[in-house]
Amino acid sequence: AQSVAQPEDQVNVAEGNPLTVKCTYSVSGNPYLFWYVQYPNRGLQFLLKYITGDNLVKGSYGFEAEFNKSQTSFHLKKPSALVSDSALYFCAVRDLNTGFQKLVFGTGTRLLVSP
């Protein structure tokens, strides 16, 4: 079964510092990977995706993610964190078993950016 793991429940970073939110995946075949962000009392917002091609994927709000096949990782990064980036971040993988674009989500990582 396809799955993703987010090993950190929470990440703390000071504003202006670089941030990394970790995600590892377990899939059969080539992975389709996603990052979503969830602000309080709001639905999930799409940030970026990896399907194929360049291992460094750029997304919304200055975020990027690096696909690493050898380490089966897809870590989310941003060079300089903002207080407004504080939110819940979810990594997801497309489940290939059903063939109907089903997503399997990780448990989420809470990012707290301090002023």
Closest to another protein by CB, 28 or 101: 101
Give me the sign of the Cα torsion angle 19, 21, 22, 27.
Answer: negative
Closest to another protein by CB, 5 or 15: 5
According to CB under 8 A, which residues from 1 to 60 bind another protein?
Answer: 32, 34, 36, 41-46, 49, 51
Closest to another protein by CB, 70 or 98: 98
- Per 3-state DSSP, what percentage of the chain is helix, strand, and coil (rounded to 5)? 5, 50, 45
Pattern 73-92, binding to another protein, x per CB under 8 A?
-----------------x-x
Distance of closest approach, residue 10 Cβ to another protein, in angstroms: 12
Distance of closest approach, residue 15 Cβ to another protein, in angstroms: 26
Report the DSSP beta bridge partners of residue 12: 112
Report the DSSP beta bridge partners of residue 82: none
Alpha-carbon distances, residue 21 vs 3, 7, 90, 91, 97 (angstroms): 17, 9, 9, 9, 27
Closest to another protein by CB, 77 or 110: 110
